Homo-oligomer: A and B are copies of this chain.
Amino acid sequence: MELLEEYIRKNGAVKEGNVLKVDSFLNHQMDVKLFAAMGREWKRLFADAPINKILTIEASGIGIACVVAEAFDVPVVFAKKAQSINIDGAVYAAKVQSFTHKRVYDVIVSKKFLSPDDHILVIDDFLANGCAVNGLLDIIEESGATLEGVGIAIEKGFQEGGKLLRERGVRLESLAIVDAMDAATGSLTFRR
């Protein structure tokens, strides 16, 4: 998606340790006009899919998912990190290893909000090794819902998450795929 690539080139920064900082528009400060354009693009890409719900994971996926959900006219459910006293009753749970925070945490979704009748689009800001998305896919499988696809803003194409999802037959639509980046020069190569 050309607009997103422009944002990344103009406002992103490549840092040591394979970190792509996009915190001025994607995951700390958030440009909701960009998110609305992303929603229109995913709606075009998944036009034939009977999506009735969007699933994401806290925290940075939530803003994108909510603006994108307006394009699909469906509700959002977000997987919560760790147990909250406000979640009672039964939950679906999965373990996720965080690339950013270097630790494993539990994510949970109340059983009230996912059922075999649901057709789910998973939305998240980043795909690297795929741990967060795989946790959400485990939860969807446990619920009996149908996975219609996964929409990612920025895929790190040099890490294996996207490749493994495509090999499993998951319909994955990443709006920008970074195939290489260099912290020394700040250069970025997008997949064509």
Show the binding face of A for B, using Cβ within 8 Å.
15, 17, 19, 21, 23-25, 28-33, 35-36, 58-59, 62-67, 69-70, 73, 75-78, 80-81, 84-88, 100-102, 109-110, 112-113
Cβ of A73 to closest chain B Cβ, rounded Å? 8
Q: Is chain A's binding surface mostly helix, strand, loop or mixed?
A: mixed
Contact A28–B75 (Cβ < 8 Å) = no
State the copy count for this chain.
Answer: 2
Do A29 and B80 have beta carbons less than 8 Å apart?
no
Apart from A28-B110, A29-B76, A64-B66, 11 more pairs, CB < 8 Å: A24-B112, A32-B76, A33-B73, A36-B70, A59-B80, A59-B81, A63-B65, A85-B100, A85-B101, A85-B102, A86-B100
